Amino acid sequence: MTVIKGESAREGADDKGDMTAVTGGGVPDDGYAPSERRLARERYRRARARRATAVAALSTLVTAVLLYLVVVSAPGWPRTKETFFSAHYAREAFPKVLEGLWLNVRLLLICGVAVLVLGMLIAVARTLRGPVFFPLRVLAAAYTDFFRGLPLIINLMIVVLGVPALRLQGVTVDPVLLGGTALTLTYSAYVAEVFRAGIESIHPSQRAAARSLGLTNRQALRYVVLPQAVRRQVPPLLNDLVSLQKDTGLVSIGGAVDAVRAADIIVGRSLNYTPYIVAGLVFVALTIPMTRFTDWVTARMDRRRAQGGSL
């Protein structure tokens, strides 16, 4: 038992000495040399990391090869390759799909801002207190329930195809504007619930402390509750924006020439579906950076929360 304690004490002393030299907790010694135990641990960690990387690379390669063999050995692969993976039609479709993608990007930027603003207003309306605001709370709840339950494709058809049929004076019939309106109506309902969840996650003591400092209910909501709620809900908000980016392609049902519609025009003329693959890959390439950024923000916030830092 004494030997074990002595060994543990020596190991702890080695670790403390190493940490002092690394972190600068004391005066650095130019003649410092890490202990053999520490060097052995570092070698073991590096070897384990290299082994894990090699195993991951090998398993990925084996999986890719198996999937490739399964696909190319299928009886209908030659016909599928000609219909969906034609290099000729991919070269023809790519510039036109990119030109149409600019419309999707503009819709994402404009509708994204509108969704955030409208969603925030609806969330605040649902959290207002007092009997005088009861009608407003009911309307906000009815809005979120209706548009969250209504499929987006049906909402788009109603707005894009139904509004022009009414022939209202002064109302636009532009499918891009109508499609953007339908996207905003649907996604603002989802974003409103995200904001409301963030507002209700703030402990009541925060609002009470703000009131005790002389702030009004409006000021407490604006300066104390909403900033914390928005920071907490950044990851789900980014996920909604990623989904919005993909769904901007649905405005093509009204005739707007976006990336999907540009591919559809070529498909209708050639009866080859490669342009759809090109459009899909372009959307994936646009979505992946946003998804990775969302993952990075989520992981960063989780680390700060685990360390007891502010959100």
Q: What is the pLDDT of residue 292?
A: 87
Nearest-angstrom CA–CA distance, 194 and 235 = 10
All residues at 6 or more sequence positions from 141 whose CB lies less than 8 Å from its CB, including other chains: 126
SS3 content of the chain, % helix, strand, coil (to 5): 85, 0, 15
Q: How many CB atoms lie within 10 A of CB 302?
A: 11
Q: Which amino acid is at 56?
A: A
Displacement of CA 304 from its chain's centroid (Å): 19
Question: What's the pLDDT at 36?
Answer: 87
Tokens representing 221 are 């909501």
State how far the Cα of 52 lies from the Cα of 36, in Å rounded to an integer: 24
Q: What is the pTM of this model?
A: 0.75
DSSP state at residue 85: -
Q: pLDDT below 70 — which residues of the chain?
A: 1-30, 308-311
For residue 115, give the nearest of 222, 4, 192 by alpha carbon. 192
Instruction: Please tell me the predicted confidence (pLDDT) of residue 5.
Output: 43
CB 21 within 8 A of CB 28: yes
Q: Which amino acid makes up residue 47? A: A
User: Three-state DSSP class for 276?
Assistant: helix
HSE of 294 in the Cβ direction (CA atoms, 13 Å)? 16
Instruction: Judge contact between 275 and 97, C-beta under 8 A.
Output: yes
> d(Cα 191, Cα 242) in Å, to the nearest integer?
12
How much is the pLDDT for 202? 86
Q: Which residue, among 179, 187, 121, has the nearest Cα to 150 in the 3D structure? A: 187
Q: According to the model, what pLDDT value does residue 121 have?
A: 94
pLDDT for 173: 86
- Which whole-number Å values give the CA distances from 102 to 91, 120, 240, in the listed order? 18, 27, 20
Among 90, 262, 245, CA closest to 183 = 245
So what's the pLDDT on residue 51? 93
Token pair, residue 99, equals 């030109």
What per-residue confidence (pLDDT) applies to 311?
54
| Residue listed under structure tokens 């809900």 | 233
Locate tokens 């407003």: which residue? 136
How crowded is residue 94: how many other Cβ atoms within 10 Å of its Cβ? Answer: 17
Nearest to 250 by CA among 98, 107, 96, 102: 107
